[in-house]
């Protein structure tokens, strides 16, 4: 089998959390275009169903929508069970769901801190370990986690200590699971996007002045696009990355290089 054939995802089944829109939607599109069947997992089931219909129509793949609170262990287990039941198996997943609460540390409430960590880090642990248990018992698989360049730098001017800490935790969790499962057939990697021009980011009036500041600081002078993240995720889910585990891939246009 040639390299191009190995890069395709025909016969693979997976899911993406936080996939109704933004980065998750674009990686789900990329997985489907590469030949995978998958589940669009999101709290907003109406948006998830619409995204599933769009991707199915454009790719011809089997795409389902599942509502899930990824901070709830029982719901994550039920979601993985449903993926396996409806798609027939599970070879990859992308733990992408996340939030960002901007608040100065001396004003941030403990509830805000806990919510940020629950969605961004606890949910990744639940998603990875529950999906990972299935993969470990069924021949292996690939897990992709969304971290952030904020795991490597402190963003300015917005205050977001909880977000930064949670994403640093995602990278260390990724490495820890990768080492634990390296000889058992399950690979775990992370991506660390920089500032990405999702629909939500570009449509927010409060973010417009921040975008101007970010672009002024960026070596490329622009935001990334969600579509620019898809190819690395397809690579990680496929069979050309079988020696790649425990890695974090920076996708930030060199923003963290200085």
Active-site residue list = 148, 163, 167
Is the distance from CB of 69 to CB of 75 less than 8 angstroms? Answer: yes
Neighbours of 221 (CB within 10 A): 10
Output the CA angle 132-136-138, nearest 5 degrees. Answer: 115
What Å distances lie between residue 123 and 19, 22, 84, 155, CA to CA?
Answer: 14, 18, 19, 23
Output the CA angle 113-119-125, nearest 5 degrees. Answer: 115
Strand 248-251 to 186-193 pairing: parallel
The helix, strand and coil proportions of the chain, stated in percent and rounded to the nearest 5, come to 50, 15, 35
């Amino acid at each position: 089998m040639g390299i191009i054939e190995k890069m395709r995802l025909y016969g693979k089944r997976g899911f993406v959390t936080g996939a109704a829109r933004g980065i998750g939607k674009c990686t789900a599109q990329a997985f489907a275009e590469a030949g995978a069947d998958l589940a669009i997992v999101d709290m907003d089931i109406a948006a998830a169903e619409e995204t599933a219909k769009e991707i199915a129509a454009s790719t011809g793949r089997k795409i389902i929508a599942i509502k899930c609170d990824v901070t709830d262990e029982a719901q994550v287990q039920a979601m993985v069970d449903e993926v396996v039941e409806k798609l027939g198996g599970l070879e990859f997943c992308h733990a992408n769901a996340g939030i960002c609460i901007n608040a100065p540390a001396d004003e941030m409430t403990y509830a805000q801190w806990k919510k940020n960590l629950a969605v961004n880090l606890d949910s990744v642990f639940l998603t990875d370990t529950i999906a990972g248990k299935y993969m470990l018992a069924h021949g292996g698989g690939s897990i992709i986690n969304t971290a952030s360049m904020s795991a490597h730098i402190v963003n300015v001017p917005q205050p977001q200590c909880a977000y930064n800490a949670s994403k640093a935790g995602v990278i260390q969790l990724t490495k820890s699971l990768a080492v634990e499962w390296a000889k058992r057939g399950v690979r775990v990697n992370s991506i660390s996007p920089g500032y990405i021009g999702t629909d939500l980011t570009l449509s927010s009036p409060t973010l417009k002045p921040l975008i101007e500041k970010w672009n002024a600081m960026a070596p490329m002078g622009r935001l990334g696009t969600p579509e620019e993240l898809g190819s690395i995720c397809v690579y990680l889910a496929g069979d050309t990355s079988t020696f790649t585990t425990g890695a974090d891939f920076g996708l930030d246009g060199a923003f963290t290089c200085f």
